[in-house]
Structure 1
């Protein structure tokens, strides 16, 4: 379980996050949604340690990530998996070496153990046949799946996905959503997805937090989001539906 309490972050004279609190449960796919510039990516960066908030707490199963000692913070980091928006693959490494990379950096596993684990994760995302291909030789959707395989290679308790459907066609986006949901359920991971994709909201939004101008102004799920009386959220949903319809 991840708990964030009263998170606030300012850049210059602009308050990007203002007193954000939420609880994210194991086995749930939790979405953080909002328009561009609403603070959702900054919130994710606060949760994974890339940005330090001026105020608030980030707790991983009760452990303080922001104020914990060095060993506590290292232990939490080893339990995280992150899928970055652009997949962030190493162009000079083939697919399986990209997946192996966290094992090389963070474990003392034997070479055969690392190979077996990387192969298992590639198989789990359906890319075992692409192990020796380079990132330049695979599609955008395949790159996302390689990114997911790398994110789960350390068997994480917490999985963070930043705009996993960015740049993908609608059918591939649905497949990526389904894969994230399956992995979350299968391994009982606490998964947080940053997105503005309407299909994601409706298909995998077990818990949804809506940010608007740095504030969390609504929380619910895929069943309640269509019946909200929050004007800003309704406008956001309508705009996304319009864009989705235009792209068909």
Structure 2
């Protein structure tokens, strides 16, 4: 379980996050939504240690990630898997080498076992046949799946996905959502997804946090989001519905 408490962050004279709190549970696909510039990506970066908040706490099963000693922070980082928005694959490495990279960097596992684990993860995302291909040979959806395979190769307790559907067509987006949900359920992972995709909200949003101008304006799930009485959220949903209908 992840708990965030009163997270605040300011860049210069601009407050990006203003006292955000919430809980994210194992086996649950949690979404953080909001328009551009609302603070959702900054909040994710605070949660995974890429940005230090000005105040607040980030707790992983009771362990304070922000104030814990170096060993505690290393332990928590080993339990994280991250799917970056652009997949962040190494162009000079094969698909298999990309997936295996965290094992190479963070473990002393024998080479054969690392390769076996990486291949298992590729099989789980349906890309075992692409193991020896280069990232330049892959479609956008395939790159996302490789990114997911790499994110789970360390058998994480916590999975973070930053705009996993960015740049994908609607059908591929649905497949990526389904894969994230299946992996969350199968391995009982605490999954946090940053998104503005309407289909994601309605299909996999077991918990949804809506940010607006650095504030948490609403929290609920995909069965209640369309019945919101928050004007800012309703406007956000309507705009996304229009965009989806146009596509």
1:1-248 matches, cutoff 5 A: 1-247=1-247
Q: Which runs of 5+ in 2 are unaligned?
A: none
SS at match of 1:232: helix
**Aligned mates of 2:37, 2:7 — CA distance in 1:** 16
Q: Where has structure 1 moved over 3 Å in runs of 4 or more?
A: none
**Aligned mates of 2:216, 2:31 — CA distance in 1:** 12
Shift, 1:232, TM fit: 0.2
**Aligned mates of 2:236, 2:79 — CA distance in 1:** 33
Shift, 1:44, TM fit: 0.1
SS at match of 1:210: strand
Shift, 1:46, TM fit: 0.1
| 1:136-173 CA distance string (max 9 Å, x none) | 00100000000000000000000000000000000000
SS at match of 1:108: coil
**Aligned mates of 2:198, 2:103 — CA distance in 1:** 34
Shift, 1:53, TM fit: 0.3
Q: Name the count of aligned residue pairs.
A: 247
SS at match of 1:93: coil
SS at match of 1:5: strand
**Aligned mates of 1:112, 1:89 — CA distance in 2:** 22
TM-score (norm 1): 0.99
SS at match of 2:26: coil
Q: Which runs of 5+ in 1 are unaligned?
A: none
Shift, 1:125, TM fit: 0.1
TM-score (norm 2): 1.00
| 1:67-105 CA distance string (max 9 Å, x none) | 000000000000000000000000000100000000000
**Aligned mates of 1:182, 1:218 — CA distance in 2:** 26
**Aligned mates of 2:4, 2:107 — CA distance in 1:** 28
**Aligned mates of 2:236, 2:68 — CA distance in 1:** 37
